[in-house]
Structure 1
Amino acid sequence: MSTPVSVSVSVSLNGGRTAADGGAVPLSPPDVVESALGAVAAGAGEVLVHPRTPCGRESLSPRVVGPLLEAVRGAGVSVPLSVSAGIGAEPDPAGRLERVRSWTVLPDRAVVHFAEPGAEELAEALLARSVAVDAVVPLGGEGAGPGAVEPEPGALARFLAWPVRDPARIRLAVELAVELAVADPALVAGLRWLPPVPLLLFGRESAAWPVLRLAARCGAGARIGVGDVLHLPDGRAARSNAELVSAALEVVGTQSAVTAWSR
């Protein structure tokens, strides 16, 4: 019998959600800290947050990002912290570069959407500041989450054309549509040969849980959280990120064990 595959689960705390999406979405710094602590206690190996101003708007300002990161780390969250550096926080590519270069407190990782203009330059600026990069590439459907804009075509081609000079600090984060989430794991095997970087799979809304199961079967990294999905596998509304992470780890354990037994 083989040992079940170990899959790391990261948590997307709030994504592009707003207060209209319900009380499970942490928006203020105190709520983000509480949610991060709960998610890590439940087993999350990484935390992704979309920082916000007091009025709830996403922001990459150092006056917003820095204090939030310090609050989360100061509360005792020791896992890697990621920040989304997307168009939802700053529409202008030059503005995003300026913001990133002005950060006084750095996250461990940053999410760069290769379906957005200026992705390559933004990724290079982050790497130059020793911030690891999650290069997000949507496959199938629109690949756009809550509050996102219509993605440009060819995101995967853009990533493949971008020279990967430091594979240890770059991860390919593939956002799968629901029709691909139930595909044969050969899909993931095909992705693995692309660049020699780690692979993370995630989906949004109806694709979230099927993609997580696929990630578990293939041994890829996985992501869950109210930033991606508001319901549990059985359809019930999730009360917190911690509840989603706990459910995700149960799914991962079940899928990994099934995969191991089938070998």
Structure 2
Amino acid sequence: MTEPLVRRIQVCLNGGRSAADHPAVPITPAQLAVSSQDAVAAGADAIHLHPRRADGQESLAYADISAAVHAVRSACPGTPIGVTTGLWITDGDAAARLRLIRGWIDADPDGLPDYASVNLSEPGFDDLTDILHSAGVAVEAGVWSLADADRLGRSRHAQDVLRILVEVIDFPADTCEAEADAILDRLRAYALRPPVLLHGENSSAWPLIGRAGRLGLATRIGLEDALAGPDGDPVRDNADLVRVALAQLSR
């Protein structure tokens, strides 16, 4: 597998969005491959995606994971690929999520992602991280709040996650930076070694890209996080968002 680093910007291709949200949201493995290739050409150095079943619904089943990963890895050799493990995919059933991801351990590693995001706000962070590590998949720790920062600080995996995703997604543009700073301060209190990637979603997406740039942190952008540019201007696709974000970071 590829060394799963993010040097500057990760592209988040689709999340739970559909073409009803934006016509360029990629769903199928072929669409994910094309969108990834364009975003990497635009400057993204890592990829985050939500694999889908044939009916377009998000999936944690190995067959669906591997189909997406194989397609994207073929299109973007050498670029690290990550997936979600969101509990909503199994309708809140943590045991079902563990069963599905435990199935990755004996699967062909060529179909596995380089890393997976695991949210501290969802139950079973440590157990799920154990399973992912057993499968050879690194873990991004998703921290959405001060409480999540404390959960990570107390976790047995606090120092061995790949990186910490500080995700400020439920705050308006005028308060999201203060919330991000509070979470970052709390994480620093635990003297955690893993690097931080800071990002927002919707109204907080662009302010936090700017904040990440000023703090020298990695960040992310894509149609999962934003459907328009910083001034509300339409964007064509994920690659367009990456180009705009890199221009913001260069200011």
Q: Same fold, TM exceeding 0.5? A: yes
Map of 1:173 onto structure 2 = 165
SS of 1:182's equivalent in the other structure is helix
SS of 2:167's equivalent in the other structure is strand
Show the 5 A alignment for 1:153-232.
Answer: 154-164=147-157, 167=160, 169-176=161-168, 177-178=171-172, 179-183=174-178, 187=182, 188=184, 191-194=187-190, 195-232=192-229
- Output the CA distance in 2 between the equivalents of 1:76 and 1:222: 20
Partner AA of 1:31 in structure 2: Q
- Output the CA distance in 1 between the equivalents of 2:186 and 2:144: 15
Show the 5 A alignment for 1:27-106.
Answer: 27-90=27-90, 91-103=92-104, 104=107, 105-106=111-112
- Output the CA distance in 2 between the equivalents of 1:33 and 1:164: 32
Q: CA RMSD in A?
A: 2.1
Aligned residues: 235
- Output the CA distance in 2 between the equivalents of 1:211 and 1:191: 17
Return 5+ residue gaps in structure 1 as ranges.
1-5, 141-153, 255-263
Deviations 1:206-259 (A, max 9, x none): 0000011101100111011000110111211221000000001001111xxxxx
Q: Does the CA contact (< 8 Å) of 2:166 and 2:180 recur in 1? A: no
SS of 1:211's equivalent in the other structure is helix
Map of 1:258 onto structure 2 = none
Return 5+ residue gaps in structure 2 as ranges.
1-5
Change (3 A) 1:184 1:74: closer
Map of 1:150 onto structure 2 = none
Partner AA of 2:120 in structure 1: F
Residue 125 (structure 2) pairs with residue 125 (structure 1): no
C-alpha deviation, 1:7, in angstroms: 5.7
Change (3 A) 1:77 1:21: farther
Change (3 A) 1:62 1:132: same
- Output the CA distance in 2 between the equivalents of 1:242 and 1:232: 12
SS of 1:47's equivalent in the other structure is strand
Change (3 A) 1:186 1:165: closer
Partner AA of 2:151 in structure 1: R
Q: Does the CA contact (< 8 Å) of 2:8 and 2:218 recur in 1? A: yes
Map of 1:22 onto structure 2 = 22
- Output the CA distance in 1 between the equivalents of 2:85 and 2:180: 30
Percent identity (aligned): 37
- Output the CA distance in 1 between the equivalents of 2:112 and 2:188: 29
TM-score normalized with structure 1 length? 0.83
TM-score normalized with structure 2 length? 0.87
Partner AA of 1:245 in structure 2: V
* Between 170-179 and 208-217, the greater mean CA deviation after superposition: 170-179
Q: Does the CA contact (< 8 Å) of 1:53 and 1:59 recur in 2? A: yes
Q: Does the CA contact (< 8 Å) of 2:149 and 2:186 recur in 1? A: no
Change (3 A) 1:165 1:88: closer
Of structures 1 and 2, the one with the larger relative CO (CA 8 A, separation 6+) is 1
Q: Does the CA contact (< 8 Å) of 1:29 and 1:68 recur in 2? A: yes
Partner AA of 1:217 in structure 2: R
